[in-house]
A and B are shown apart, each in its own frame.
Chain A
Amino acid sequence: MARMKFLCDAERCIECNGCVTACKNENDVPWGVNRRRVVTVNDGVIGAEKSISVACMHCSDAPCMAVCPVDCFYRTDDGVVLHDKDLCIGCGYCFYACPFGAPQFPQAGAFGMRGKMDKCTFCSGGPEPDRSEAEFKKYGRNRLAEGKLPLCAEMCSTKALLGGDGDVIADIYRERVTRRGKAPEVWGWGTAYGPGKQQPAAGGKS
């Protein structure tokens, strides 16, 4: 069974923000909402600067699902965490629960009121007819239903961001680490998918 995962290789990410732009464009994400963003640590420090692309990690035991008071979250058969915007009340609990800051809230109406939550869907839409106009307007493009993968990962120029079945991308990463001989740790993997679960085998010197 496929378990869709993202994997970001901090050794390769060059902070080009191509993934952010691709996501914005493919899903027609409104102004002020960032389903994906690039975070850089030790900015400007030679040798210590690392960038990572962050979005919903589609956790195996998702905290957002656990705290949602209206139970609008569900996990698809292929392991993608999605939600029903018709049910969401925009309370923001999921934002506080998420370790990755994935849930986003558009400003709606006066007094800075929160709109319904919006987040990365792994380019697989939501609970509307697949590839329909309604699905696109509410959740964005459904690329999985087209046999494609999330655009952010597919168009990443350095292939720092990998997306797809956890086993397959773990194999890709394992081969990469073995070849370059360093940096086997995967950012966010343990947090999202639990320690010891499909963690790529350690390889290389570092």
Chain B
Amino acid sequence: MKPLVAAALLAAVALGVSACGEAEQVVVYKQGKYQGKPDSKPWDNAPLAYGHATWKKGDKASWENEVNTRTLGQNEYRRIYNQ
């Protein structure tokens, strides 16, 4: 009988001590994955019929070139002095 009591006591102590453990309480957030509808790429559109844009439909490089040229229009040093 005595060993059984001792074992029960030991188990109770172990259980009690386990409550003192420091469990990680900070939630580790994981980067989610987009759940919505897929979107098309801007370069997959043909240029507007009435516009000045001339990129080739589906060609990313030509679209980027078009947009970057337009971006440089925001530089008034080049727009005004270099013309």
Contact = CB atoms under 8 A, between A and B. Distances in A.
Interface of A: 2, 65-68, 70-74, 76-78, 82-84, 86-87, 124-131, 142, 144-149, 153-154, 156, 159, 162-165, 168-169, 172, 175-176, 179
Contacts of B66: 147
A72 B72 CA distance: 33
Given A149-B71, A159-B76, A72 B51 contact: no
A163 B73 CA distance: 11
Contacts of A76: 39, 41
Contact of B68 (A66, A77, A148, A165): A165
Given A130-B45, A142-B42, A144-B42, A162 B74 contact: yes
B70 A87 contact: no
Contact of A77 (B34, B41, B45, B75): B41
Interface residues of B, number: 34
A66 B42 contact: no
B38 to A, nearest CB: 7
A87 B67 contact: no
A175 B72 CA distance: 12
A60 B39 CA distance: 19
Contacts of B33: 71
A79 B76 CA distance: 25
Contacts of A82: 39
Contact of A175 (B34, B51, B75): B75
Interface in B34-74: 34-42, 44-45, 47-48, 51, 53, 55, 60, 63-64, 66-68, 70-74
A152 to B, nearest CB: 12
B45 A145 contact: yes
Given A164-B70, A172-B74, A179-B77, A146 B36 contact: no
Contacts of B55: 147
A145 B63 CA distance: 9
